[in-house]
Amino acid sequence: QKEVEQDPGPLSVPEGAIVSLNCTYSNSAFQYFMWYRQYSRKGPELLMYTYSSGNKEDGRFTAQVDKSSKYISLFIRDSQPSDSATYLCAMSDSGGSNYKLTFGKGTLLTVNP
Amino acid sequence: DTEVTQTPKHLVMGMTNKKSLKCEQHMGHRAMYWYKQKAKKPPELMFVYSYEKLSINESVPSRFSPECPNSSLLNLHLHALQPEDSALYLCASSQSGVQTQYFGPGTRLLVL
């Protein structure tokens, strides 16, 4: 079993739809959870960062972490064509000297006008 | 400002060439990273520098040689690469001990 599982899609939705992107993980030590957006041929851009369980909202984006189920989600409301990108979840198990992120494979999202 | 810059944007090199990739950040971050990313794959960690010292080398072949001249700069020296080394090379930085990493736009490398 991979440490982080993410459905690679592709996911295609109409403009204005609510998008739900998800990752599951097996390492119960993970405490730090991130979502990155990566446009084609560009570097990943940090979208959301959550520590431990709970929800975090930033504009049209909401990140949820359920540590009991080892499941994280990113919701995009009122999706726009400019949201078309690959979304990567990433997680880590501690602060201090541990600098390693474990990434999901990424989900390719297309929002159609 | 959460900007990490990388040069060059694109690089084509032969297997006998020597070239260098450069990365710069001015966010005061003390951890800097090199990643390699192949198409449709997530980034793979290559090296981590913490306070200008190499702290992680993910068993990367010696044809890749990192260097951290100061807290703002990170270089990746390339020598005798193979065609399978063609990829997007990403630099990232973070505050030491903090998990959020900020990525640069990458250098797209093609080895002929």
Task: Kindly list the residues from chain B whose CB atom is less than 8 angstroms away from the CB atom of residue A49.
Answer: 99-100
Burial class (CB in 10 A: 0-12, 13-18, 19+), A29: exposed
Going residue by residue through chain A (113 aa), what tens digit of pLDDT does each one get? 678 999 888 999 999 999 999 999 999 989 999 999 999 989 999 999 998 888 999 999 999 999 999 999 999 999 999 999 999 999 998 755 567 899 999 999 999 99
A12 residue type, one letter:
S
Q: What is the pLDDT of residue A9?
A: 84
Closest chain A residue to B44 measured between Cα atoms? A103
What whole-number percentage of chain B has pLDDT above 70? 97
Q: What is the pLDDT of residue A6?
A: 95
Which residues contact residue B62 at a Cβ distance below 8 angstroms, ignoring those fewer than 6 apart?
Answer: none
Mean pLDDT across B3-24 = 95
Strand partners, A63: A56, A74
Q: Is B9 left (phi over 0), alpha (psi -120 to 50) or beta?
A: alpha
Q: What is the pLDDT of residue B51?
A: 92
Q: Which of A34, A96, A103 sits opposite B43 (nearest CB)?
A: A103
Which residues contact residue B73 at a Cβ distance below 8 angstroms, ignoring those fewer than 6 apart?
Answer: B22, B23, B24
Q: What is the pLDDT of residue A96?
A: 55
B97 residue type, one letter:
G
Q: For B43-52, what is each residue's pLDDT tens digit?
A: 999 999 999 9
- Does residue B74 carry a pLDDT above 90? yes
